Structure 1
Amino acid sequence: MSGTHLSPYPPLFRHSDDSLQPTLDSDLLPQIDFHLLDLDKLTEVCRDWGVFRLVNHGIPADLSNRLQDQAKKLFSLPVESKQALFNSPPMAYFWGTPALTPSGVAITQSAQNLYQLEGLFVLLNQLPQLQGDDPTLRSFRLLLEEYGQHMARLARSIFNVVMRNLGLDPSLSETYLSESTGVVRLYRYTHCRDANQISGMEAHTDSSVLSILNEDEVGGLEVYKDDRWIQVRPITNTLIVNLGDMMQAMSNDEYKSVKHRVLVKKGEDRMSICYFVFPMDDGVIQSTNYRPFTYKMFRTQVQEDIKATGSKVGLQRFMHTEPQIRSSAPTPNPGAQR
């Protein structure tokens, strides 16, 4: 590589000029105080929005800042170095796709459907297996382990309240949300050079029970409500919690799996840390609106639909009367592996 400039940006992101002109509205996102959980308000927010800001969450600001800084340093490495350093679970590097399969393999996408992002996929329950003498990698692992513990605490506490609100059988708690499934994805949405805003991740819902987002001050997240896109303004030391497809199924569609997307901006990279938690693979989800299914069945169906139709179909596949699904041109949905 002597004499060759090594770029920290994946090849197709070095000269991007695709444009996107969205319709935006002011930030109206509701806020939930973790220390003073208002059950009625949480029920209303889950039903009407499926997403909320979380304040007083107890995550030390210093931990979030150190994790963000460490991730930025790692993403600034040459692509070849990132591919060599993070080449398999529990930490795997990817770019152009917002997710990996559980084995750490990136979803195949054509060049025209690549997203303006790169990321690290982290299986939290396998982090203790990550060994090595690299001090940077060891420090990063310790930060992720601590951060994952906070995420599991928040997810479990919120989910237990939601279970009570929905009147679900408490014996299902461990099956419906399993901390052992927790994953973190660290994303860098790489800036565009010539356009004001382009798509960093297209509109999708998450396949999770809950997703918890910790983002920097750049912004770009939007949620879809009442037939319009609402721009989510970054606020220091707050988290964004959104419900996923599994929560919608568990609630018999009373709660929403919120549709959202990410735009990237001219001249500014965006960093985000996303935690996702799922049901046990083989635990059966019971719902009057859907046929009994396991998360493993759901995930497999999503992967089959990506190959067959080019997009995620999701919960529609498990309705008692499944609507006819038409094949479409391959435009992979970023919620495919969520």
Structure 2
Amino acid sequence: MANLESFPPLFRQTTNPKTQPNDPDEPTKWNPDSDPLLPVIDLQCLNHESLGAACKDWGLFRLVNHGVPTTLLSQIQDHAKKLFSLSFESKQALFTTPISYFWGTPALNPSGVPLSGGHQNINRLEGFNVPLSQLSQLEAEDPMLFTFRPLLEEYGGHLARLATTLCEAMAKTLKLDPKQSESCLSISTGLVRIYRYPHCSSNDHAWGMDVHTDSSVISILNQDEVGGLQVFKDDKWFPVKPISNTLVVNLGDMMQAISDDEYKSVKHRVKVNEHEERISICYFVFPADGGVIRSSKYKPFTYSDFRAQVQQDIKTHGFKVGLDRFKRGETLLE
């Protein structure tokens, strides 16, 4: 069992955690025994038709034969567990720049702390934010960080390769012109977020992460053996069960806009486990900040515009509005 001192103080309490608010898109109860046949994409023999169908129907797929060494996936997970086992105060002191520590929300403000001030809005998670392009600035005097840095650099290289290969295939399937394809993705924006979801046995409605879509072009997930990820499709929630040596790829808001809504940015959430903590490692990649996304469905915007609007909406309204802010012909209340 994890040392309680390693958790943020709020998570050490025995009071019931936050419960999931009513979701208007959830007319049916999630069935934990359901096991959907999620699309599987084989990177060694990449079929563009199958990839396009997965992106249209699910916005998510399992990736096999991805070429990331199994040993590296295990090493990243094991090292993450060691770092999370440090005391809460140690993590706050040790992780400042470029790797930052956060808890309570996956959305970071400039200071790296939860954007929401109310305890009732705090998700049951903590994590490390790793901008891969800034790893060279890491002064790893601590031995744990010293050994983690080369693992992250190697991992980032593999994930950049996967993201580039997949996005190039998606661009061809969508028949994007070369100029559009070039602006789809900027590997220099790649970042890794490492999450820990503490277990919670006191309430069966404990949520590690609320319903959301990613703001990325694509996100690539390496999850441990503890389940919890759920995706929304056909008015139902489905579990994405962990399968050894596979990665889970989901599309974000930027890919939905780039595809003119042909591909979907999938809604997903994370439920905490009653008995075991869960660790997941997710790679996110975005368009270049200055690259303009042009679409018949949306007003021209850059990722910088989108990111600023999301930050403003979270600050003002407490939630992300997302692509609806940029739809053509629609006016939203400020």
Same fold? TM cut 0.5: yes
Q: Report the equivalent of 1:115.
A: 123
Alignment of 1:1-338 (within 5 A): 7-14=5-12, 15-18=14-17, 23-24=30-31, 25-87=34-96, 89-101=97-109, 104=112, 106-325=114-333
What is the one-letter code of the residue matched to 2:120?
Answer: Q
2-side partners of 1:58 and 1:138: how far apart? Answer: 25
SS at match of 1:188: strand
* CA-based RMSD: 1.8
SS at match of 1:27: coil
2-side partners of 1:52 and 1:286: how far apart? Answer: 26
- Name stretches of at least 5 consecutive residues in structure 2 with no aligned partner: 23-28
Q: Which runs of 4+ in 1 moved over 6 A?
A: none
Shift of 1:107: 2.2
What is the one-letter code of the residue matched to 1:243?
Answer: L
* CA-to-aligned-CA distance 1:143-168 (integer Å, 9 cap, x gap): 10100000000000000000011111
Shift of 1:102: 6.0
- Name stretches of at least 5 consecutive residues in structure 1 with no aligned partner: 327-338
What is the one-letter code of the residue matched to 2:89?
Answer: E
2-side partners of 1:197 and 1:67: how far apart? Answer: 29
Shift of 1:325: 4.3
2-side partners of 1:171 and 1:102: how far apart? Answer: 32
Q: Report the equivalent of 2:25.
A: none
SS at match of 2:202: coil
TM-score norm. by structure 2 comes to: 0.92
Shift of 1:17: 2.7
Shift of 1:128: 0.8
SS at match of 1:152: helix
CA separation of 1:132/1:231 partners in 2, compared to 1, >3 Å: closer, same or farther? closer
